Amino acid sequence: MNPGGYIPNHVSFFRIGVLALEMSTGLLMNAFLIFAVYRDFLKTKTVSNSYKILLGLAISNVCFGILMSLALLDYFCSLGIFPTINPTYIYLYLLLFTITSCGWFSASLGFFYFIKISDFKSRCFSWMKTNISSFVPRMLLVTGTVSLFNSLLSNLLFIFRPTLSGNTTDYSPSMVSLLSRSSTTFVKTAIISTVLPFLVVFTTTLFTVVALKKHRKRMKNVQTSDSLHMRSYENVVRRMTHCLLFYVIFYVVMIIVYFVVITWVESGFWLLLLLLNSFSPVQSTLLVLANPRLKAAWKEIFLCAHLQEMFSTKKQQN
């Protein structure tokens, strides 16, 4: 099978291996985030505001990984999952929804830390900070609603594409084949759908960093419990800055892929797949590193921290 004439029939094992590694890592990391939130809920009987946003982000990334895995499995195994055009439109809508919701949940997380850390003179922002517990559910509702409508509008670009609206009843093309025919449209749609969330993340992170620097100057020689919180927030913002750099690099590469690679390079579509599937594992890894509670949970679960602590205790007793 040769999707859109871009690649030979036999895809290299290297590409398959990298795609499998990216998807499995992304699913593992986001499944860990969901499990960590559930584990924390069992202990505290409540879910923190930041964990609510992380949960939505992790679920959207898991759904994206499942959809991409389904498309690639259909391509490599010729399952014929998309015999008609209607399942194709439904799949595209779900895929665009996961991409869009991921962007907006990322923006919500950045906006949450911005509200949580910064001091405001505006009544609106002051009310949000005072009522952050009641504001977060409303923000998540708006995030989901915007993602639904944004994905619907984005899907219209594919509905009116001749490459997708043609007769597909005579054979069962894979989703990879269908996407390769409209690869430039798909990249353009992904960029348009996520550019506004990216601007929100970029702006809120910058304002948060500025607010922290101002607060650090005021508390330079003051040792209070607030200073401990500020140091923890500084670590979060530092990691958020790393996320921001990752978003910038990701967008630059996506733009290069859109304007140059897909048009001029035969394997550009597979480069697009590698790029899209790299987003989830890298973002989830940065989020785990940014949260001390998630880092501790990761060490306890995967590095057997409780066993190490038990052995160190026995050695001290001996």
- Per-residue pLDDT, 61: 93
* Predicted confidence band of residue 27 (pLDDT cuts 50, 70, 90): very high
Label residue 76 exposed, middle or buried (CB < 10 Å: 0-12, 13-18, 19+). Answer: middle
User: Is pLDDT above 50 for 74?
Assistant: yes
Q: What is the pLDDT of residue 181?
A: 73
pLDDT, one tens digit per residue, over 110-162 is: 888 888 877 777 778 888 888 888 889 999 999 999 999 988 888 777 776 65
Question: What CATH number has the domain spanning 10-299?
Answer: 1.20.1070.10
Asked whether residue 221 carries a pLDDT value surpassing 60, the answer given is no
Predicted local distance difference test score (pLDDT) of residue 143: 92
**Pairwise pLDDT comparison (81 vs 123), residue with the higher score:** 123
pLDDT of amino acid 12: 63
- Mean pLDDT, residues 151-178 taken together: 65
Tokens 């650090």 belong to residue? 216
Q: Is the pLDDT of residue 318 over 70?
A: no
Q: At what angle do helices 132-159 and 123-130 cross, to 10 degrees?
A: 110
Give the pLDDT mean for 89-107: 90
- pLDDT, position 167: 46
- Specify whether the CB–CB gap between 74 and 172 falls below 8 A: no
pTM (2 decimals)?
0.82
Give the whole-angstrom CA distance, residue 100 versus residue 109.
Answer: 14
Q: Give me the percent of the chain exceeding a pLDDT of 90.
A: 14
The confidence band for 28, taking pLDDT boundaries of 50, 70 and 90, is very high
> What would the pLDDT profile of 225-246 be if each residue is shown by its tens digit?
455 656 665 666 677 677 778 8
Structure tokens at 151: 């994905």
Mean pLDDT, the chain, rounded, equals 77
